[in-house]
């Protein structure tokens, strides 16, 4: 089928938007230009009414909870939520039940993904068996089965020796170590950032060194082994400083930051409620500014959501009892556009890069490019009309986010994967 997306706004270098059409045929972008309908007949034409069209967004960090926790999310609902947020390629974490730590379990999970997902999911494999052991998985066979990297997200790797051996094996198999950095010996039962707010609320705090000390350890090991080391959800100024210095020293390190850590601080936590509980926690204003500066100077490579759905009963309790994590797939672009592009902190071109080509390049994924010959994975956004983030609108099973009821710009209008519409707010046809 030939499809024409007509009258879109396309970002070009120099943060310049130009009006253009996109010709889609056999699931790929066949041409990009103006007035393409004059010289070609199309089976279907969609008038984008001068709304922004980008390459489909790429998210290196989501939790879809299936198998094992389908009351929180499934591959179907998680992928629909991603599509509603404009994401067409996501990387799913392996903290599931069972953990996909063998060839059989990994293949079984991939069958579920093929059956149920509406977007492209790349499934991470764990670093160690069952995530909490010191026994390395068979990285050779799991690499051949297509994992983009190895991660013990949610728990991390607690011993330096295990991490060192894992890095050597990952390097041999040309895969990155994707690190959740959290030294459990420094947690002390904390449930939020240790600071003035934790003291005011009387809640146990998590010190910044819980994250940054393990990054320091791993950067030395990454330099020793030569592995590609990717740090998940960086949240502290010390972590940014360490990664900046490591990059200058030639260590092959990349990292991501989440929208909530860019926008909120612990001062925004007004009460002891699980909706504010995430891991890493919301940090200080100094940390938030360091994250923004880290993105701007290239220390931080991309934005990822850490989409982490939970049941409402689980989150509707004290932070000492609630699980860590908030959802993010359906709000990431809108929040970043509203908070940073509209305030001239970031350019729209930078934001698109951090959500498309930059994450794709980190894991060498075939995604994130709006170019002729590339898969027609596309997202269309309304940059002019305000909308309210409402729980009932979510396609995820969960709505655990502190951003509920916030008014934002940049709502996703339509998402296409391989030229097929996988989500549409309201299809516009001629």
Q: Is 65 annotated as a binding residue?
A: yes
200: which residues sit within 8 A by CB, 6+ positions away? none
* Cα–Cα distance measured from residue 204 to residue 207, given in angstroms and rounded to the nearest whole number: 10
Q: Is 297 annotated as a binding residue?
A: no
* Cα–Cα distance measured from residue 339 to residue 286, given in angstroms and rounded to the nearest whole number: 17
Could you tell me if 99 and 130 are in contact, meaning their C-beta atoms sit under 8 angstroms apart? yes
* Cα–Cα distance measured from residue 93 to residue 306, given in angstroms and rounded to the nearest whole number: 9
Q: Is 16 annotated as a binding residue?
A: no
Q: Is 333 annotated as a binding residue?
A: no
Q: Is 306 annotated as a binding residue?
A: yes
Question: What Å distances lie between residue 171 and 14, 34, 143, 149, 294, CA to CA?
Answer: 36, 46, 11, 10, 26
The residues annotated as belonging to the active site are 306
Q: Is 180 annotated as a binding residue?
A: yes
Q: Is 310 annotated as a binding residue?
A: yes
Q: Is 13 annotated as a binding residue?
A: no
421 φ, ψ to 5°?
-75, 120
Q: Is 61 annotated as a binding residue?
A: yes
Q: Is 279 annotated as a binding residue?
A: yes
Q: Is 324 annotated as a binding residue?
A: yes
Could you tell me if 63 and 94 are in contact, meaning their C-beta atoms sit under 8 angstroms apart? no
Count other Cβ atoms within 10 Å, centred on residue 209. Answer: 16
Binding-site sequence positions for substrate: 63-65, 95, 279, 310, 324-325
Annotated binding site: 61, 63-65, 95, 153, 180, 233, 279, 306, 310, 324-325
Binding residues for Zn(2+): 61, 63, 153, 180, 233, 306
């Amino acid at each position: 089928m030939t499809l024409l997306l007509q009258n879109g706004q396309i970002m070009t270098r120099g943060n310049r938007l130009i009006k253009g059409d996109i010709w889609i045929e056999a699931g790929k972008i066949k041409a990009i230009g103006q007035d393409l309908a004059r010289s070609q007949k199309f089976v279907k034409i969609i008038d984008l009414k001068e709304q922004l069209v980008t390459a489909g967004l790429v998210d290196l960090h989501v939790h879809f909870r299936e198998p094992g926790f389908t009351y929180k999310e499934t591959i179907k609902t998680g992928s629909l939520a991603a599509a509603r947020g404009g994401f067409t390629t996501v990387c799913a974490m392996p903290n599931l039940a069972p953990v996909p730590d063998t060839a059989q379990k990994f293949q079984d999970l991939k069958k579920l993904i093929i059956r149920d997902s509406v977007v492209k999911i790349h499934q991470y494999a764990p670093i160690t068996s069952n995530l909490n052991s010191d026994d390395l998985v068979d990285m050779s066979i799991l690499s051949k089965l297509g994992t983009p990297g190895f991660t013990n997200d949610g728990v991390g790797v607690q011993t330096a020796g295990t991490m060192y051996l894992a890095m050597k094996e990952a390097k041999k198999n040309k895969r990155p170590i994707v690190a959740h950095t959290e030294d459990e010996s420094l947690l002390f039962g904390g449930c939020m950032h240790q600071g003035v707010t934790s003291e005011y609320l009387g809640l146990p705090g998590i010190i910044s060194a819980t994250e940054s000390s393990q990054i320091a350890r791993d950067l030395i090991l990454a330099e020793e082994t030569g592995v590609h080391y990717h740090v998940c959800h960086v949240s502290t100024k010390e972590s940014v400083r360490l990664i900046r210095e490591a990059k200058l020293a030639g260590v092959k390190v990349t990292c991501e930051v989440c929208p909530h850590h860019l926008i909120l601080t612990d001062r925004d936590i007004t009460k002891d409620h699980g909706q504010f509980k995430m891991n890493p926690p919301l940090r200080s204003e100094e940390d938030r500014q360091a994250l923004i500066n880290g993105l701007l100077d290239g220390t931080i490579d991309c934005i990822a959501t850490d989409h982490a759905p939970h049941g409402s009963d689980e989150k509707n309790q004290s932070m000492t009892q609630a699980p860590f994590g908030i959802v993010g797939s359906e709000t990431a672009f809108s929040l970043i556009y509203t908070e940073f592009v509209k305030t001239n902190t970031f350019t729209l071109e930078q934001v698109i890069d951090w959500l498309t080509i930059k994450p794709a390049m980190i894991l060498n994924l075939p995604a994130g490019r709006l170019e002729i010959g590339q898969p027609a994975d596309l997202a269309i956004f309304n940059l002019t009309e305000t909308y309210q983030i409402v729980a009932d609108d979510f396609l995820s099973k969960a709505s655990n986010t502190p951003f509920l009821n916030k008014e934002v710009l940049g709502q996703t209008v339509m998402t296409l994967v391989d030229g097929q519409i996988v989500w549409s707010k309201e299809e516009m046809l001629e």
